[in-house]
Amino acid sequence: MDQSRDVIAVQARLADTDLIIGPADREILRRLAGNTADLAARPIEDEKPRHWTSHNSLKKTRPPILCDPENGWREIITPDQMECVNPLARQWEMHLRKEVFWGGRMNDDYTVQPFFDVPHVHAPLDWGLKEKRIGGEDGGAYRWESPIKSIEDVENLHIPEINVDSDATDRIENIASEIFEGLLTVRVKTLWWWSLGMTRLLAELRGLQQIMYDVYQDPRILHRIMTVLRDGTMAMLDELEEKGLLSLNCDGTYIGSGGLGWTSELPGVDYDDRVSCGDMWGFSESQETTGVSPDTFAEFVFPYQKPILERFGLNCYGCCEPMHQRWHVIEQIPNLRRVSASPWTDKEKMAQQLEDKYIFSLKPNPVDLAMGNFDEDRIRRELREVLSILRGCRLEIIMKDNHTIRKDPGRVIRWVQIAKEESENMVAG
């Protein structure tokens, strides 16, 4: 699922009133920023990047643990805890409260850093056609009406342009710098994409059920749409590079479908302070095509993803789809380093496929945190069993895709403790 770690999302032009953050809100933000700065100054925050760097270089380490509760954050940081009034200040407050909880209570291997990132203010990317969504309020389920009904409709797609409002971006950066002066360093850093897999966009444009029919009845339309999406994505990356809008993600940035980007292998040897894709981690997945055969995936999806991933210095692949069935295709990706192992993956088979040559990004089932009874014994037992299978792999353990934690923040804290204990036991054994 497209559930990347929270970023302070500010898109399109903001009203002038949204940029007036009053003294009370500023005081709240400075207090939280001070807490974040204190956490970032701890010696352990210097140790964590070294741990991730070794891990991302395929050295044998204790498996890093990362817990991003996603929708569960709304049950950890509840509306009654929020103090700011201004809409932009509330976004910043939520971000800082997450940092404080992550570093002060969660105690996984997430790195708390003395930075505050603000993204470019920009218009939403426009492909020329868009689905009509029905439902989806408060993070719930939704359905959609897809705009592409025939191959002629594909002609209405166009390459998206990057339209940045530099003045608004500068204003927000200056406001953040004023508020956090002496506490956190403000950076302009935008996560322009989560995945470059394109099949979610394909499903939105054509319809997931219709795609399944097209594979047999009208394969031309799938190839035509994927050609446009590939070419548009490549052009978008070109524009981001040319305009100097990319930022390095070889730091504490959440990359792929889980993991942090710390590595000594990026940026590339030709890096000159202007970031190109070759200086970054890339990421792709194709969860929407889980229901098709590996051969169908190899025909309709992978040939369009591969040239995009070839641009990146290191790559991650996969999210919720079981990867062991597609491994003979996926392993063709250049610079592939991190591979997702969802709860539906055959762990034994995938352990044999990855060995110690790739990062095995284990995703335990999030239902463990959503059940009426938080069964610690079962969680520990199942982790211990899977860790014994993966002993020879370069393993990380990522808890994500949580829709609820039963309004009990203690569950994520305790899950991290159990995962750390079991991973340490695996290394000691």
Q: What tens digit of pLDDT does each residue of 190-221 get?
A: 999 999 999 999 999 999 999 999 999 999 99
Q: What tens digit of pLDDT does each residue of 308-326 get?
A: 999 999 999 999 999 999 9
Q: Distance between CA 261 and CA 254 in Å, rounded?
A: 6
Residue 4 has pLDDT above 90, yes or no: no
Q: Six-digit token pair at 144?
A: 């959609």
Is residue 61 within a helix (H) or strand (E), and if so which, with residue range?
Answer: none
Using 50, 70 and 90 to split pLDDT, how confident is the model at 5? very low
What φ, ψ does residue 396 adopt, rounded to 5°? -135, 155
Residue 6 has pLDDT above 70, yes or no: no
Q: What is the mean pLDDT of residues 40-65?
A: 99
Using 50, 70 and 90 to split pLDDT, how confident is the model at 137? confident
Q: What tens digit of pLDDT does each residue of 273-310 get?
A: 999 999 999 999 999 999 999 999 999 999 999 999 99
- DSSP string for 109-147: SPPP-SEEEEPPPBPPP--S--PEEEE-GGG--EEEE-S
CA distances from 101 to 35, 64, 104, 110 (A): 10, 18, 5, 11
- Return the percentage of the chain with pLDDT > 90, whole number: 93
Residue 236 has pLDDT above 70, yes or no: yes
CA distances from 233 to 4, 126, 275, 332, 397 (A): 19, 12, 17, 20, 30
Q: What tens digit of pLDDT does each residue of 99-118 get?
A: 999 999 999 999 999 999 99
What is the per-residue pLDDT for 217? Answer: 97
Q: Residue 265, exposed/middle/buried by CB under 10 A (0-12, 13-18, 19+)? A: middle
Q: What is the mean pLDDT of residues 398-414?
A: 98
Q: Distance between CA 317 and CA 218 in Å, rounded?
A: 28
Q: Distance between CA 326 and CA 170 in Å, rounded?
A: 45
Is residue 340 within a helix (H) or strand (E), and if so which, with residue range?
Answer: strand 336-341
What is the per-residue pLDDT for 2? Answer: 39
CA distances from 339 to 56, 239, 324 (A): 12, 28, 10
Residue 13 has pLDDT above 80, yes or no: no
| Range scoring the smallest mean pLDDT among 55-64, 104-113, 226-235, 268-277 | 268-277
Q: Six-digit token pair at 266?
A: 């990026």
What is the per-residue pLDDT for 15? Answer: 65
Q: What is the mean pLDDT of residues 237-243?
A: 98
Helices (H) and strands (E) in the chain — how many of each? 14, 10
| Range scoring the smallest mean pLDDT among 17-21, 32-36, 142-146, 412-416 | 17-21
Mean pLDDT across the chain, nearest whole number? 95
Q: Distance between CA 119 and CA 10 in Å, rounded?
A: 7
What is the per-residue pLDDT for 353? Answer: 99
Domains, in order of start, for the chain: 16-428 (3.20.20.210)
According to DSSP, the β-strands at 281-284 and 185-188 are unpaired
